[in-house]
Chains A and B, each alone.
Chain A
Amino acid sequence: MDINVNVKSNVQIKAFYLFYVIVGTQIGVGIMGAPRFIFTEARQDSWVSILIAFVFMSIVVLVMITILKQYENADIFGIQTDVFGKWIGTILGTLYVLYLASSLLSILLTYSQVVKIFLYHTFPNFTLGAMLLFLTIYAVFGGIRVVVGVTFIFFFLTFWLILLFYDPITRMEWTNLLPMFQATVPELLKGARATTYTLAGFEILFLIYPFIQNKEKIKLPALLGLAFTTFILMVTTVISIGYFSHKGLEHVDWSVLILFKSVSLTFFERLDYIVIVEWVMVILPNIVVLMWAITYGVKRLYKVPQRISVYVFSVIFLVIVSFMEYEHHISIITDYVSQVSFWIIFVYPLILFPLVIIKKKWRKNKGSAAK
């Protein structure tokens, strides 16, 4: 496998779109239930936890960018092969792809769960999965240009949802956020860790990097993307804490969706139905980017054409989604994904970083010795 990737100029994208790719991959099903998980750890100081998570996340992203800058035009698969050799590199790459696949699966399952709870109680997983995967296949076949386009267009088509918070904001009890700074440091850190599942998604940088045209400019859009996601998570968490009582929030499963229940306009009595179906547009960029990343990874590792692997993975996902009916199975998968994602996307780059630097130094020495 080549370490560096040759990308034709007509499939390259501008660094500017990285903002949308990162936001589109980060914001998905996680945010619907996130406030509860953060709140159970850090109570009314959850917003501090989110800020800690943001700082940590920014450090990780900067480390990722530094790792990528050591190479000419490489992605995670090439870097792993370079650092660990062909065999271990391929195994690690496969694990990475499996992680991406399981997070795609958890998105599909969680959303089908939400549709069952809020919309149609007996809606078959198969139908929902088939429709979402059909859209995904159709988008992935358009290539990276369409995948990025999906994240870009759907960002604007879902942005208006945030305006609907005007109603819960007017109803919230600001004193719920007081007294401030009561949580201990371990509690805050635990709260920060609870954001993992929601904030996962920026690992896409490791895969999309070779496709970026002006690589010198990627820092700003990447960090702005993280900041935007953090902002959204912060807003939803703070509103949830103010809107629900402390005891209530611990027991509310999809707190963010319930926030929309009280929104009412003169021409739309209840907007929560609209919000739940609109969430398809929130998760679609997720699924499309992940599916592209999975098939691209398989292509890099095993030279399987994306045209074939897209179908194969879709069928596998569809079969699994159709048989996973029960909530406890789904929560097991989601928990597992959030556990794994903490290690893979937050910790792993920090481990990889010194190895890449050492390897580079070693190669330099070897090069000068040979001379």
Chain B
Amino acid sequence: MRRRHGSKNKKDSIFPITIDELEKTLSSKFENNPDLKFSKYDQQGQKIAVFFIDYQVSSDKLQQALLVPLLGMKKEWTNDSILNEIPINSGTKISSFEDILKKLVIGEVFIYAEGEEEAISYLLLHKESRSLEKAETESLVLGPKISFTESLATNLNIVRWRIKSTDLVLEEFKIGKTMPHDIRLVYMKSIANEEDVNTVRQRLQELDVDEIEDSVVLKQYLEDSQTNLFPQFDHTELPDRFTYAVKKGKIGILVENSPSGFIAPATLYSFLETTEDLYMRWQAGTFLRILRFIAVIFSILVTPMYIAAATYQYTIIPTQILLTIGQSRAAVPFPPIIEALILEFLLELLREAGARLPTKVGQTMGIVGGIVVGTAAVEAGITSNILIIVVAMSALSSFTIPSYLFGTTIRLIRFPMMILAGFLGFLGIIFGICWLIIHLLRLTSLGRPYLVPLYPLKLHDFNKVFFRTPFNYTYNRAQSYRPKDLIRFSKKDATKKRDIDE
């Protein structure tokens, strides 16, 4: 970047120029834009111009650190004396007109003393950002509550405070040709796999887009394959989750103006982990993690199984339940597939409406939808009450998934599964499951298998993924991500057994 600018310097330099002409040129670029402040000062016969965009610079700093010394000292200014005597650091000389425009936009203040070869710019950035708040989409019971904000500087500050090490690298990239965004690649120099870092770096450098909206969009640009269902990088707004992954040798990416970062590479199971599993005792952590695995399977399968059993293989249902189902379905005029699709559709409507409405109204809506519409639907004979239980359980299971993106994928998968079950019964469900498994086997994240450590099998990593063991048994980092440095602490010391009364 820098080299390219250097070569341009000579070409589009507009200096030296008179102050009036400079004003004219600049205001022609900012037509109909009243925001450019261009002030001219006469200092001992020398004309000096100070120009900036009003709301992009902090006016206090400008007044005190720049204007007061500039106008207070009665002397003739040259570029060198300005750089020397104005008490702000980061002053640079700039001659290219293009660069001046670019830097004006991001909040730099320019001083031009008439007759000089270059203008001088100071970064007096003023950026509005909200203060740190509690995480909204990924909430935790235990552990740190803050979430990332839209300001990259704040996010970097949080990350730096969480990983106080010189090993931490925050590599800078600019993505977007016409409207560039600052991107930071976050990884641990001594742990992260070199190959993975290079892959991400290469993908970032090769990315050829005009602009990106948010980190979620950048994530989709960088993923291995965009045609499939599952998210391939883990997306989070929690700094502790982010830094936990970085400390284990993964690579994090933060994007300017985005209140979330993402982590690569990811596996299927990383979407079902929370940092809370670590904060719990290991038995509880294991329990919760397994609960979530079961919830995912349950959420995908329970409604299709109801449809298949009620439509074709009803002999698998035990007699007593079969009687109940029969009674409750007696008033329903539709086949089970239609009945289930209606109810699932209703539930998705409720969820979507709840997400769009303001929080206060949203809660009321949930109650109205859940209780009133549900009861009314049963009484009107549109659905059976057994199905309401089934659908509610499946929805509830899908909400236990910590990652919102992954949860959406799971909810989406249910619909083709239901249709398969409606057409082919249990045979259809098995086909759906087989397809899903083959699909997952084919997926990669950053070129690494998506199902690792299950396939390829890495038994040593099971206690970091499927369940948790006491911390003295997690002396290694996960092999699955091939970290440079596998060992966290000495196995011998951690597992040493003392004899009785020693």
Contact = CB atoms under 8 A, between A and B. Distances in A.
17 contacts: A14-B456, A119-B427, A120-B425, A131-B431, A135-B435, A138-B435, A138-B439, A139-B438, A142-B441, A150-B438, A266-B318, A269-B319, A270-B316, A271-B316, A277-B427, A280-B427, A281-B430
B442 A142 contact: yes
Contacts of B319: 269
B434 interface: yes
Contacts of B457: 16, 152
B434 A280 contact: yes
A14 B459 CA distance: 14
A76 B431 CA distance: 33
Contacts of A268: 316, 318
Nearest to B313: A273
Contacts of B317: 269
Interface string B293-331: 000000000000000000011011111000000000000
B110 interface: no
B442 A277 contact: no
A131 B431 CA distance: 8
Contact of B434 (A269, A270, A281): A281
A139 B435 CA distance: 9
A323 interface: no
B315 A269 contact: yes
B451 A274 contact: no
Interface in A128-168: 131, 135, 138-139, 141-142, 145-146, 149-150, 152-154, 157
A268 B316 CA distance: 5
B377 to A, nearest CB: 26
A14 B455 CA distance: 12
A115 interface: yes
Contacts of A266: 318
B442 A146 contact: yes
Contacts of B438: 135, 138-139, 142, 146, 150
Interface residues of A, number: 32
B426 A149 contact: no
A284 B441 contact: no
A120 B423 CA distance: 12
Interface of B: 312-313, 315-319, 425-427, 429-431, 433-435, 437-439, 441-442, 449, 451, 454-457
Contact of A270 (B315, B425, B427, B455): B315
A274 B316 contact: yes
Nearest to B420: A131
A273 B435 contact: no
A371 to B, nearest CB: 46
A335 interface: no
A278 interface: yes
A267 interface: yes
Given A150-B438, A273-B426, A274-B426, A280 B431 contact: yes
Nearest to A146: B441
Contact of A284 (B315, B316, B318, B434): B434
Interface string A282-293: 001000000000
B457 to A, nearest CB: 7
A41 to B, nearest CB: 34
A284 B427 CA distance: 13
B441 A150 contact: yes
B498 to A, nearest CB: 37
Contact of B430 (A16, A138, A271, A280): A280
A129 B236 CA distance: 43
Interface centre among B312, B313, B315, B317 (most CB of A within 10 A): B313
A277 B435 contact: no
Report the 4 A-B pairs with minimum CB-CB distance, sorted nearest first.
Answer: A142-B442, A149-B441, A277-B426, A277-B430
Contacts of A146: 438, 441-442
Contacts of A281: 430, 433-434
Contacts of B425: 119-120, 277
Nearest to B439: A138
Contacts of A277: 425-427, 429-430
Contacts of B439: 138
Given A269-B315, A277-B426, 5 more contacts: A142-B442, A269-B316, A270-B315, A277-B427, A277-B429
